[in-house]
Amino acid sequence: MMSDHPIDRFESASFQAFPRDLMGSEMAHVLSKITMNWGRVEHALYMSMRKIDPKQAPTWTALFFARPMLEDQKKKVRSALASVVGSSSSDLLKHLDHAFNDLKSLQDRRNPLCHGLWLTTTTQNTFEVQPLRYDNGSATFEPSLMVNLPFLCQVFEDMERFINLMYSICAGSMARQQLNKWGI
């Protein structure tokens, strides 16, 4: 029996574009901001990790942006960070945990925008985007996302919030290190 999933239909592979109107232009603009500034998300995470452990920062950062199949590795990084930070800074651990949860949420929304299949839609200014991740356990693809201007704006706002949180964590780590040097 043939599957009726959109990925299994040839017409799903047709090229998509935003409408050439004000709303389409704004959606294209916000999507470009998401794409162009994703490196800032990675940089903010790297800089924060670097202030915690300069030697491990490149490896830890790479794992946080690795494919979902490496989820166990990501958990090990979180544990390693917790042991490096130690119980001396429970606030920092809370902020890091919050930041990592935010990063996961961002990745779950951003990755389909860049790597998913944008499907033909009949709803004006709303696109269905099908992530191309297949779950072998359930033998299904991840659920599709309905993408419109508010969705895109929320992703970008959450990116900015994450970046600011990571830079705050970085500044806090630097301040804590300086206080430790002074014996305070």
pLDDT digits (tens, 9 = 90+) for 124-140: 899 999 998 877 777 77
pLDDT digits (tens, 9 = 90+) for 136-167: 777 778 889 999 999 999 999 999 999 999 99
157 CB-near residues (< 8 Å, 6+ apart): none
Q: Cβ distance 125 to 23 under 8 Å?
A: yes
Q: Cβ distance 159 to 37 under 8 Å?
A: yes
